[in-house]
Structure 1
Amino acid sequence: MKNLTLPAVGGCRCGRVRVRISAPPLLTMACHCTGCQRMSASAYSLSAAIPSEAFAVTQGEPVIGGLHGASRHFFCPYCMSWMFTRPEGLDWFVNLRPTMLDDPSWFTPFIETWTSEKLPWASTPAVHSYEALPAMEEYERLTTEFAGSFGGAGKSGG
């Protein structure tokens, strides 16, 4: 696995919306819930929890899509790529789809969620698996463990 070089930039499929991250993720995940399966047209969605202050939209204006519910899912208004999510009540991070970055080769999910809804053949290399979501009190331990295992993150580059 390659190291994440920061800052990292990326964008949607058509390139009209661009983003930049300037800090390593707090946690990386794969979600197997049926909602993510439908929104991603895949077996699961991938996300990297980026500290809010380290995330910026640098070009274009993403629009809210998905269910238009409490958690806001942002898409490119032209190509409709699902780019990131801002979960309700959790303003301190943004769930970025890591494949929106120009170089996502560093990404591996550390946890997988909603395995109770996963497709029988779907598997990930996640270290921790949860039938639904981890309890809120588990996130501090998970982010600390992830930070210790995510060697090389934050390396500066151009």
Structure 2
Amino acid sequence: MTMPSLPMTGHCRCTQVEVRISAPPLLTGAYHCTGCQRMSSSAFSLSAAFPGDCFEVTKGEPVIGGLHGDEAQHFHCPHCMSWMFTRVRSVADAFVNLRPTRLENALWFVPFIESYMSEKLPWVTIPAKHSYTEFPSMDAYPALMQDFGKGLRQVQ
């Protein structure tokens, strides 16, 4: 996978909230759970996990919407309500799951893993290298991130 040079910027549908990333993703994925299907109004949601210290909101103030739980929170534009990113509280400083189609250029994005195959719509087929019935176990992530990083190239 070849991604554009960094930093990359992105925004919500109405452009009132803008973001900037300054590091490549740690992992990319497609999530087939029914919660993500409902949030995205699609068969799955897409996500790119970026290091938390390399992600910033540069314009606007996102609000929590969708999932308001103790474990994870979804952030949206307060005006157009676009789902922009997710923070998992237990690792909130470690990474941010950005919806990659919020970036100015998402043509490079390919899901590396797919999860919640147990809830996948039967007609969906994507090119993910790894598939999981639910989420991968926490101890699987270091190897997944290492494997993902081997195939990631940046345009200089």
TM-score scaled by length of structure 2: 0.96
The aligned counterpart of 1:90 is: 91
Report the RMSD for the aligned CA atoms in angstroms.
1.0
Mapped partners of 1:67, 1:137: distance in 2: 25
Unaligned runs of 5+ in 1: none
Mapped partners of 2:67, 2:2: distance in 1: 34
Q: What fraction of aligned residue pairs are identical, expressed as a percent?
A: 59
Report the residue type matching 1:11 in the other structure.
H
Q: Secondary structure at the match of 1:124?
A: coil
Unaligned runs of 5+ in 2: none
* Residue pairs, 1:21-40, within 5 angstroms: 21-40=21-40
CA deviations over 1:5-54 (Å, ceiling 9, x no partner): 21000000000000000000000000000000000000000000000000
TM-score scaled by length of structure 1: 0.94
The runs of at least 4 consecutive aligned structure 1 residues that moved more than 2 Å come to 1-4
Pair 1:78-2:60 in alignment:
no
Mapped partners of 2:4, 2:99: distance in 1: 15
The aligned counterpart of 1:17 is: 17
| Contact 2:2/2:152, CA 8 A, preserved across alignment | no
Mapped partners of 2:81, 2:117: distance in 1: 27
Shift of 1:2: 4.7
Q: How many residues align?
A: 154
The aligned counterpart of 1:64 is: 64
